[in-house]
Amino acid sequence: MSKRRATITAVGHYVPEKVLTNLDLEKMVDTNDEWIRTRTGIRERRILEQGATSDLCVKAIERLLERRKIEASEIDLIIVATVTPDMFFPATACIVQERIGATKAWGYDLSAACSGFLYALVAGSQFIESGAYSKVLVVGADKMSSILDYTDRNTCILFGDGGAAVLLEPSEAPEFGIIDHRLYADGSGGAYLYMKGGGSLNPATHETVDKRMHYIYQDGKSVFKGAIKGMADVSLEIIERNNLTGQDIAWLVPHQANLRIIDATADRMGLDRSKVMINIDRYGNTTAATIPLCLSEWWEAGKLRRGQKIVLASFGAGYTWGAVLINWSLESPKGS
């Protein structure tokens, strides 16, 4: 008997309306549009002015359910990848479960920063492959503006807010769906990208607030070096171990942290830029949301076709990194 495979059967995303441009940031910190564009590829990002990460999740999921024409009560499991949960507890997945009315679902949050969506996608697919569940929502959402120091030009220009979701179901044909994955972690990378305040190590005090410990800290150069190597290596590894070359890949769906990291990954795979999903210019780095946000936008634009082989790739805090190979099964709505 052939293996039961998980496949993506619906996508949905949400970005807040408020746009924060590079020119806006010029008025807030010592930076400029040219520096940001050439060093990162970012032109603008979205900001959620009111509400929390669960709002981003709920709006993305509502869109997804509408497209798939199913009720929330049919969902078995909700996994929310995020580093900006509404609260430490209850889990954002529980808040979302109640708000969408997923009455029979259970759920949990998963913390793997920019690789959160890939970790969650692989976790969710195991529940489908084992036969335990048939409808698993995998959500990547972050309200990065809630942990950014808008006086720190090293970090505040990089990130934005957004949320996106995919639905995993058993594939009707064994050749479609999530074919392979490689996930990695290296805790020694924790020294270069972190938020030290608020956890059990440094509970919130006046001192932690004064020392700005409730904001992201990043040593950009070190993370950049790690990301260039990690994301490119794992992307090449996943195609090679499946006896594929860049020629066989229809789309690379990279985590959107920096255009130069994306370009390096595409080069390493021998992929033309036209085969790379890029929306960092409009949204910046939305952490766990970047990859599903690309999938949902490209699907909506009619650019995803059944039978296309696509590689998802990420690198982020932890360090965490990985790649997922998919034989895409969800036909886009319009012809292209």
Catalytic positions, please?
114, 255, 285
Residues 6+ apart with CB under 8 A from 27: none
In the bound complex, what is the minimum distance in angstroms from residue 319's beta carbon to ligand COA?
9
Q: 169 is written with which tokens?
A: 């179901």
Residues 186-215 touching ligand COA, rule: CB under 6 A, are: 193
Per CB under 6 A, the list member of 221, 243, 274, 335 interacting with ligand COA is 221
Q: 20 is written with which tokens?
A: 């924060």
223 is a site residue for ligand COA (CB under 6 A): yes
What three-state secondary structure class fits 274? Answer: helix
In the bound complex, what is the minimum distance in angstroms from residue 107's beta carbon to ligand COA?
25
Exposed / middle / buried, residue 35 (Cβ in 10 Å: 0-12, 13-18, 19+)? middle
User: Where does residue 198 fall: left (phi above 0), alpha (psi -120 to 50 degrees), or beta otherwise?
Assistant: left
In the bound complex, what is the minimum distance in angstroms from residue 154's beta carbon to ligand COA?
5
Q: 182 is written with which tokens?
A: 């490689």
- Cβ 222 vs Cβ 247: under 8 Å: no
- Cβ 276 vs Cβ 251: under 8 Å: yes
Single out the segment in contact with ligand COA by CB under 6 A; choices: 3-11, 138-146, 220-228, 246-254: 220-228
316 is a site residue for ligand COA (CB under 6 A): yes
Nearest residue to ligand COA by CB is: 220
Single out the segment in contact with ligand COA by CB under 6 A; choices: 1-9, 33-41, 103-111, 174-182: 33-41
In the bound complex, what is the minimum distance in angstroms from residue 129's beta carbon to ligand COA?
28
217 is a site residue for ligand COA (CB under 6 A): no
In the bound complex, what is the minimum distance in angstroms from residue 42's beta carbon to ligand COA?
9
Q: Which is nearer to ligand COA, 35 or 108 (CB)?
A: 35
Residues 68-127 touching ligand COA, rule: CB under 6 A, are: 114
Could you tell me which of 116, 80, 82 has the C-alpha nearest to residue 96?
A: 80
The dihedral over CA atoms of 160, 111, 151, 202, expressed in degrees to the nearest 10, equals 160
d(CA 238, CA 186): 19
Per CB under 6 A, the list member of 40, 53, 125, 145 interacting with ligand COA is 40
In the bound complex, what is the minimum distance in angstroms from residue 315's beta carbon to ligand COA?
6
Single out the segment in contact with ligand COA by CB under 6 A; choices: 128-136, 149-157, 271-279, 327-335: 149-157
Per CB under 6 A, the list member of 224, 251, 283, 328 interacting with ligand COA is 224
Chain position carrying tokens 């009720």 = 71
- Cβ 102 vs Cβ 69: under 8 Å: no
Q: Which is nearer to ligand COA, 177 or 316 (CB)?
A: 316
What three-state secondary structure class fits 45? Answer: strand
What three-state secondary structure class fits 215? Answer: coil
227 is a site residue for ligand COA (CB under 6 A): yes
27 is a site residue for ligand COA (CB under 6 A): no
d(CA 59, CA 333): 20
- Cβ 120 vs Cβ 97: under 8 Å: no
In the bound complex, what is the minimum distance in angstroms from residue 112's beta carbon to ligand COA?
11
The H or E element containing residue 106 is strand 106-110
Residues within the interface to ligand COA (CB under 6 A): 31, 35-36, 39-40, 114, 153-154, 157, 193, 218, 220-221, 223-224, 227, 257-258, 285, 315-316
